[in-house]
Amino acid sequence: MQDKFVLIVDAYSTGAELAPKLRARGVASIHVQSTQTIPADFLPGFRPDDFTVNIVYRDLPDCLARIEAVFAGAKPSWVMAGTETAVELADLLAAQFGLPGNPVASSRSRRDKYDMARALAKAGLATPACLRTDDLQALLDWAGQRASWPIVVKPLASAGNDNVFFCNSPDQLRSAFGAMFGQRNRMGEINTHVLAQTFLRGTQYVVNSVSIDGQHYFSDIWIDRRKVMPGASNIYDCEELLAATGEVQNRLTGYMRKVLDALELRNGPAHSEVMMTELGPVLIETGARLQGSMLEQPVIDALGASQITLAVERCCDPQAFLRRLSQPYTLTRHVMCVALISNQAGIVDDVSGFEAVRKLASYACHFHTPIPGDEIRCTTDLFSIPGVVYLSHADQDVLRRDYDTIRALERAKRMFSVCQAEFA
């Protein structure tokens, strides 16, 4: 019988990388699927062959019985959340098996953005003013009491800027509410409420971490640049990897330690988005899981590790992980993650223009780019980008020059040829 095994709940997106790394350390994985059907956006990346068995969650007693049957009553060594939909069930299963995890009583504050903001406010940390509501008039009344526009409206528990609206008038609020309320979000859940927040002005950052028994290690910090586009609230532009320390980074990590403590995020990875405002850092949101939609090799090349490898190390070799806590990572290469932007929609018939990207001096890798026959849309959110390109180089100027080349290729529509095309 296998000596050690781990439960991975919803091993989708970046979470799909956990099982192979655990297997390389001699650890088997059981997959627990939290819903009867896998959300469509996650299905293509799910790799069931990486697991001893896939258990579809129906109820807790059934799930526990089926887990125990696989390994003749042996207890798993760890429970890991693969993506956003896994957070609450992973907490529950860890508690059932008496394993290190995050408290079940506060699970919702790590999933529901309104409860998250309340937990931060209770801890005395800065947070936007917010409203959770299922009533359009209550939303309009609340917005009317704010000092300024825009008002940000989003689902309570989704990811990837899914249905995030920046509203500058009551009419836009009505439209955002109508587009979201009662609809199924990208995590496969119905939006029974919406969240409204005051707008944060400043520079956005990503702070990724891995925690062990309430001690937090910051695995990678990025400046997160967005673009405002016609027909979209804002879209992903690029993320640029930063050194672990510096004036801004130190303020971010000092604040994030307090955030993670306030959310009782004691074990495992977290992906946090933070706005550095003129008054200091303010949390946008934290996901108690790995950063989604990422390739780790350029990060490993630059830092020697990634959030994924560190999450596995935290479980399999906690002593090695603990030694890292006093040693911030060292940046040896510059890395930029570029979200491609499509200004055309239709059926892709030629991708040979993408070879110009592959030939860039800083090109490292790419994923999710279309092939002939695929349909692409004009980019309005994370889910409509036609791929991601990673750039990596010792010279930051080369990186930024190559970024400019990518955007020029897009503007000229030279990267992908599209038939039956519509243009933005």
pLDDT tens, position by position, 205-264: 999 999 999 999 999 999 999 887 655 567 889 999 999 999 999 999 999 999 999 999
Element (H, E) at 312: helix 307-316
User: Same structural domain for residues 321 and 346?
Assistant: no
Residue 111 in tokens: 């999933």
Q: Are 311 and 268 in contact (CB under 8 A)?
A: yes
- Residues 71 and 390: their CA atoms lie apart, in Å, by 40
Give the domain extent around 361.
333-424
Residues 325-372 have pLDDT tens digits of 999 999 999 999 999 999 899 999 999 999 999 999 999 999 999 999
In-domain check, residue 240? yes
User: Same structural domain for residues 143 and 244?
Assistant: no
In-domain check, residue 120? no
Q: Residue 68 pLDDT more than 50?
A: yes
Smallest Cα–Cα separation from 337: which of 380, 398, 399, 270? 399
CATH of the domain at 348: 3.90.1170.30
Smallest Cα–Cα separation from 342: which of 384, 378, 375, 373? 378
* Phi-psi map region of 165: left, alpha, beta (phi>0 left; psi -120 to 50 alpha): beta
Residues 270-281 have pLDDT tens digits of 999 999 999 999
In-domain check, residue 107? no
Furthest-apart CA atoms within the chain: distance in Å: 63
Residue 351 in tokens: 């991708």
How many domains is the chain built from? 4
Which stretches of 146-267 are assigned E, i.e. beta strand?
Answer: 151-155, 165-167, 194-198, 203-212, 215-227, 235-242
In-domain check, residue 109? no
User: Same structural domain for residues 205 and 320?
Assistant: yes
Residue 1: pLDDT band by 50, 70, 90 thresholds? very low
In-domain check, residue 318? yes
For the entire predicted model, the pTM comes to: 0.92
Last residue of a domain, one of 310, 332, 354: 332
CATH of the domain at 81: 3.40.50.20
C-alpha dist (Å) from residue 234 to 219, 237, 366, 377: 26, 9, 22, 16
The DSSP result for 88-101, as a single string, is: HHHHHHHHHTT-S-
Residues 292-308 have pLDDT tens digits of 988 999 999 999 999 99
User: Same structural domain for residues 264 and 246?
Assistant: yes
- Residues 54 and 78: their CA atoms lie apart, in Å, by 16
Last residue of a domain, one of 142, 163, 198: 198
CATH of the domain at 156: 3.30.1490.20
User: Same structural domain for residues 327 and 338?
Assistant: no
